[in-house]
Amino acid sequence: MLLPEEHVNQNSRPSQLKITDMRTATVGWGGWRFTLIRIDTNQGLSGYGEVRDGASKTYALMLKNRLLGENPCNLDKLFRKIKQFGHHARQGGGVCGVEMALMDLAGKAYGVPAYALAGGKFRDAVRMYCDTPDEPTGEAMGRKLKARQTQGFTFVKMDVGIAPLIDVPGALTFPAGVLPRNDGTLIERMLDINTIQHPFSHVRLTEKGLHLLANYVAEVRQAVGDELPIAVDHFGHIGVDDCLRLRHLPERGFHAADRGAGGERHSPRSGHQRRHPGNQAHRRLGAGARHQHGAAHGRHAGEHHGQRALRRRHRELHRARASL
């Protein structure tokens, strides 16, 4: 006769699971590298995660002594313990890779897919897009995207960045030594764009550079047509201000992605908004009524501005507390 515990899968006892080690292996090709991590336990289970591309394995290994002896099934507790050591972009790769490995371990311990620990399955399939690195011309990028389409991808992504403009006279403005130009200027390590967050590298697009990028995207669109959805990645060292300037260029390069459902151009961070019925009503008012309406509108606008400032201050305080 079988004992009660023999009716239970004993490959793992989740309540007694402990982390015993973390190992890494770095793989890749060309200039790309990817660090994989493996977290081992006292019951022979291992969980796997990935430190994001180009990041140092140190971002994961420095968390090892904070995980040894812990139960990986305590996902939220351990994430709260290590999240303070994550940061922007690749500096968050260690925390993210460890969280992947912990989810993998907990799922194996309980015998369920990792997505069950995050709220359950939402869909049976996910549309994949295919990323495509820089090409020197929009025509060349268009050919590459068409090749992706023939492979069966119905959604693609391309880079729109400063790489094609670095050696074009008059396309960019930047401090000497920031970008690797072929003019003999030495790269300043303190200004190296690979160690500075993109918005703070002091690289700006000139009017010429803006229009060259717009033409680049237009060439891509001409090559692939208007039906294939294209996402844009890696504005690489272009700050928010220049992204907004790109947004307001003529439709040549950005016509497919810049329209709303009704055909209106809009951007949440720009001054362009959809036409509001109140604007037309304002035109129909007489001069005296417009004066009164304008005064009331000014009061409401001032109140609205004060409320936005207060909400912004609350968000800043919340972020400050979260960082403690």
**What's the token pair of residue 222?**
């001409």
Of 59, 78, 76, give the one whose Cα is nearest residue 68: 78
What confidence score (pLDDT) does residue 23 get?
97
SS (H, E, C) the chain: CCCHHHHCCCCCCHHHCCEEEEEEEEEEECCEEEEEEEEEECCCCEEEEEECCCCCCHHHHCCHHHCCCCCCCCHHHHHHHHHHHCCCHHHHHHHHHHHHHHHHHHHHHHCCCHHHHHCCCCCCCCCCCEEECCCCCHHHHHHHHHHHHHCCCCCEEEECCCHHHCCCCCCEECCCCCCCCCCCCCCCHHHCCCCCCHHHCCCEECHHHHHHHHHHHHHHHHHHCCCCCEEEECCCCCCHHHHHHHHCCCCCCCCCCCECCCCCECCCCCCCCCCCHHHHHHHHCCHHHHHHHHHHHHHHHHHHHHHHHHHHHHHHHHHHHHHC
Q: What's the number of CA atoms in the CB half-sphere (13 Å) around residue 285? A: 13
Residues 6+ apart with CB under 8 A from 265: 258, 259, 272
Give me the tens of pLDDT residue by residue for the chain, a chain 324 residues long. 666 656 655 556 888 999 999 999 999 988 889 999 999 999 999 999 999 888 899 999 999 999 999 999 999 999 999 999 998 878 899 999 999 999 999 999 999 998 998 889 999 998 998 888 888 899 999 999 999 999 999 999 998 888 888 889 999 998 887 887 777 777 766 666 666 666 677 888 999 999 999 899 999 999 999 889 998 876 667 778 888 888 777 655 544 443 333 333 334 344 444 434 333 433 333 444 444 444 444 444 454 555 666 666 667 666 665 655
Domains in the chain, ordered, with CATH? 10-118 (3.30.390.10), 130-247 (no CATH)
**N residues, the chain:** 324
pLDDT attached to residue 304: 54
What is the model's pLDDT at position 197? Answer: 67
Residue 118, pLDDT score: 87
Q: Please say whether the dihedral angle defined by the alpha carbons of residues 241, 247, 248 and 249, taken in this order, is positive or negative.
A: positive
Q: Which amino acid is at 316?
A: E
Report the pLDDT value the prediction gives residue 263, as an integer from 0 to 100: 36
d(CA 84, CA 218): 43
**Dihedral angle over CA of 57, 59, 60, 64, nearest 10:** 120
pLDDT at 300: 47
One-letter amino acid at 291 equals H
d(CA 319, CA 151): 44
CB neighbour list of residue 210: distance below 8 Å, 6 or more residues apart = 242, 245, 246, 249
- Using only C-alpha atoms, the chain has a radius of gyration, in whole angstroms, of 26
